[in-house]
């Protein structure tokens, strides 16, 4: 099993290009099932999770080709199978997003209940309640969601009980081919939801309001193909900014959407970082200063993203002062705390949703183990700032969400290599 070996203590600086967003690519890949025409996706990141989704599309009978420019072309003209198996869905929660498109276009779908990172229950009840409101008959049998809509889905007004990104995306896709109008109220507003909406519009869907809490979709009979470029990964961008900040260095990131990172910029500026923003770039400079500890609380967009919480905890671990971190999205997302403390951090857990981080002058290398995707990179960040050589085990978690991590870190001066 691969591990990362990191020699800490290097001040990172340089320029990186941001990859395509994993959290946008996965629902967009699922949405290619809504049309029988060819779809070409540019800037799909080459990650384990994306590979899993491509394998799932192929398992369903879609024709998937990756060309010489690494674009992904999907043609789902004639599917041979409408069942998404446990073997694929168990490894990645986003696989469940094929349910809406399959049901809307084919009137039937069987999708295993999802897996993914062990960061809480994350039920799919909002997905199912919404589809039932659109006329689907649903039962859960032997761990599979079996959904039927023999005469097609019907538009409906759906008010979700809580803000759910996956639920919003699944229902957006299903509504595109439903008869009549669907209104999604209390919808997620994340930039990745906007990107999915823009992609659906490029296919010919009649959709408005994506990016607000109320999305309106007027169903159409069929959708066409298109060529589409996936948005930049705001979580990757924020993570590499923290890599520069935690080592008191500087970085310039190219090919990103700065507007999607507003609250992350605010928090980094509170640590003492100087941030300059352009149309499609951002530069961070710590000017050799140690960061100052900053309190944060995760929240649905436009609040502080839960996918940046672990990375910011690593930054607070070496900051001046103490800070409180509150996790409001998932109930089991502090698994990195014990591993950070192994590196010499001083972090106290106060129940399942609050941690108090007391900054220390230095971290020291130690063997540590990754537990989930974002927590994995918090250990990388801590190792970059630590004295000595840290070995991080179970880094397959990192490969699920970060493209070519060693190459990118080496580009900005990190001493890192993958070892078996």
What is the set of active-site residues?
117
Residues with Cβ within 8 Å of 298's Cβ and at least 6 positions away in sequence, in order, are: 304, 305, 306, 309, 326, 327, 328, 329
Q: What is the 3-state secondary structure (H, E, C) of the chain?
A: CCEEEEECCCCCEEEEECCECHHHHHHHHHHHHHCCCCEEEECCCCCHHHHHHHHHHHHHCCEEEECCCCCEEEECCCCCCCEECHHHHCCCHHHHHHHHHHHHHHCEEEEECCCCCCCCCCCCHHHHHHHHHCCCEEEEECCEEEEECCCCCECCEEECCCCCHHHHHHHHHHHCCCECEEEEECCCCCHHHHHHHHHHHHHCCEEECECECEEEEECCCCCCCEEEECCECHHHHHHHHHHHHHCCCEEEEECCCHHHHHHHHHHHHHCCCEEEECCCEEEEECCCCCCECCCEEECCCCCECHHHHHHHHHHHHCCECEEEEECCCCCCCCCHHHHHHHCCCEEEECCCCEEEEECCCCCECCCEECCCHHHHHHHHHHHHHCECEEEEECCHHHHCCCCCHHHHHHHCCCEEEEEC
Report d(CA 19, CA 237) in Å as an integer.
8
322-326 vs 296-297, strand pairing mode: parallel
Closest to 266 measured CA to CA, from 305, 317, 300 = 305
């Amino acid at each position: 099993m691969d591990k990362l070996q990191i020699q800490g203590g290097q001040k990172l600086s340089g320029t990186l290009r941001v990859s395509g967003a994993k959290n946008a690519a996965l629902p967009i890949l699922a949405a290619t099932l809504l049309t029988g025409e060819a779809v070409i996706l540019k800037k799909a990141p080459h990650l384990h999770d994306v590979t899993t989704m491509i394998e799932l599309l192929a398992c369903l009978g879609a024709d998937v080709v990756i060309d010489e420019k690494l674009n992904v072309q999907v043609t789902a003209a004639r599917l041979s199978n409408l069942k998404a198996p446990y073997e694929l869905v168990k490894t990645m929660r986003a696989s469940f997003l094929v349910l809406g498109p399959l049901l809307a276009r084919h009137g039937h779908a069987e999708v295993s209940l999802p897996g993914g990172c062990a960061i809480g229950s994350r039920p799919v009840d909002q997905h199912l309640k919404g589809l039932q409101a659109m006329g689907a008959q649903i039962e859960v049998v032997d761990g599979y969601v079996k959904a039927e809509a023999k005469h097609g889905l019907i538009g409906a007004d759906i008010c979700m009980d809580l803000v759910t990104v996956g639920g919003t995306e699944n229902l957006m896709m299903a509504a595109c081919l439903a008869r009549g109008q669907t209104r999604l109220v209390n919808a997620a507003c994340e930039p990745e939801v906007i990107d999915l909406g823009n992609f659906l519009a490029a296919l010919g869907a009649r959709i408005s309001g994506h990016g607000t809490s109320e999305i309106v979709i007027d169903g159409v009979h069929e959708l066409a193909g298109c060529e589409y470029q996936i948005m930049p990964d705001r979580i990757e961008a924020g993570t590499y900014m923290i890599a520069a900040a935690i080592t008191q260095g500087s970085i310039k990131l190219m090919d990103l959407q700065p507007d999607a990172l507003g609250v992350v910029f605010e928090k980094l500026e509170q640590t003492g970082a100087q941030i300059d923003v352009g149309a499609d770039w951002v530069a961070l400079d710590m000017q050799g200063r140690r960061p100052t500890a900053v309190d944060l609380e995760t929240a649905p967009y436009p609040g502080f993203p839960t996918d940046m919480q672990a990375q910011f905890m690593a930054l607070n671990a070496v900051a001046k002062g103490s800070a409180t971190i509150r996790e409001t999205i998932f109930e089991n997302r502090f698994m990195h705390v014990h591993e950070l403390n192994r590196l010499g951090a001083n972090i106290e857990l106060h129940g399942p949703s609050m941690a108090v981080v007391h900054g220390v002058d230095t971290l020291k290398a130690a063997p540590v183990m990754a537990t989930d995707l974002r927590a994995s990179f918090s250990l990388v960040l801590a190792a970059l700032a630590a004295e000595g050589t840290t070995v991080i085990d179970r880094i397959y978690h990192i490969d699920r969400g970060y493209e070519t991590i060693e190459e990118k870190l080496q580009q900005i001066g990190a001493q890192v290599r993958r070892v078996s």
